[in-house]
Structure 1
Amino acid sequence: MDILIRPADPTEYEELGEITAQAYLQDGLLTFGESDWYLGELRDVAKRASTSEVLVATQGDELLGGVTYVPSPGPMTDLARTGEAEIRMLAVGRAARGRGAGEALVRACIDRARNAERTGIVLSTQPSMHSAHRIYERLGFRRAPERDWHPIPEDPDFTLLTYELTL
């Protein structure tokens, strides 16, 4: 059965928020675990959907994961410059990994950016997210170390890596 990528339905926000939060927690990507402030952001799909496009990957009736596509600089932007789109909070549930959902979600974001005539697409990732890095590189993204950044001022050792794709 094929993977379908489509906009998230509001009835799926809670489930997608939990898939996203658990993906980050189970992979050890939150500095402070269950008490991490970012956990609330990961769970708040409605907030993301109010200013960006939240896409989901489904297979049959199963919700596999999702991503936030930010079409242009705005409230959900971390890195995008004028003319660029941004990808945020890509997550696939553990049980659904290895089926191609992550790559399909990234491809959908690239297609949206091309159709919107964006000049490029950018994203942040943690150094330990090796599987995600392989997806990005396979799809033509390149590391942009000059755009790496430190999102937590109290923790200058926590660095997010930047990848960009010129369209």
Structure 2
Amino acid sequence: MPHHPDLATTVRIRLIEPDETDAVAAVTEAAYSHDYELPESYRRSLLDVATRAAHDQVWVAEDPATGRILGTVWTPLPGERISPLARDGELDFRLLAVAPDARGRGIGAALTRHVIALGRERGARRVVMNSGSEMVGAHRLYLALGFVRLTDREGPVEVAPGRFLDLFAFGYDLD
């Protein structure tokens, strides 16, 4: 994974503002639909940023020069979980997304490092997430950052009634 020494000056990670849900939804949908065929139910869930932001934390990577949102990631509030993957003492995250035209700048890595830092701040012992088996680019990123596969937590997950996906599980130990 290339190091981006100027990334700190070219992107700012912060919580979403209430008027940014549409922009974050557009980035998330563009990122996922760029690489994958999306079932309509999943597309609707990607677009429902307002619900995520109302109950949890939606982070954005913003270009401070233009105000453009380049990426996003979803974490729970302190002490909460957003997926059944997380266990006591773990921070989980979902829906890491980078605008297709902003890829290659280290934004996904910066957002993931932000989640790792949140885990440390919250006293978690591990950061965890699921990823679809076809998301090989994301897997390369996670492995390069030091995550390991948690194969004992993998298997088919029902993502919609009667629709199952094989999800990989990844963890980053904070000890």
TM-score, length basis structure 1: 0.89
Please say if residues 56 and 67 of structure 1, whose CA atoms lie closer than 8 Å, have aligned partners that are also in contact.
yes
Distance in 1, matches of 2:46 and 2:96, equals 10
The AA in structure 1 aligned to 2:151 is P
Aligned to 2:167: 160
Q: 1:27-53, CA deviations, whole angstroms, 9 ceiling, x for partnerless residues?
A: 1152x2xx2x12111111111112221
Structure 2: segments with no counterpart, 5+ residues: 1-8
The AA in structure 1 aligned to 2:110 is A
Q: Structure 1 residue 136 and structure 2 residue 142: aligned?
A: yes
Aligned to 1:20: 28
Of 84, 95, 100, which aligns to 1:78?
84
Give 1:22 shift.
Answer: 2.0
Q: Quick check: 44-53 or 99-108, which moved more?
A: 44-53
Distance in 2, matches of 1:3 and 1:44, equals 24
Distance in 2, matches of 1:29 and 1:163, equals 23
Q: 1:53-111, CA deviations, whole angstroms, 9 ceiling, x for partnerless residues?
A: 1110111222101000124444x223111111101001111111111111100000100
TM-score, length basis structure 2: 0.85
Q: 1:124-155, CA deviations, whole angstroms, 9 ceiling, x for partnerless residues?
A: 11122122112111221100111113222624
The AA in structure 1 aligned to 2:23 is E
The AA in structure 1 aligned to 2:113 is R
Q: CA RMSD in A?
A: 1.6
Distance in 1, matches of 2:104 and 2:116, equals 20
Sequence identity (%): 35
Query: What is the aligned residue count?
Result: 161
Give 1:19 shift.
Answer: 1.2
Q: Structure 1 residue 52 and structure 2 residue 56: aligned?
A: yes
Distance in 2, matches of 1:135 and 1:26, equals 17
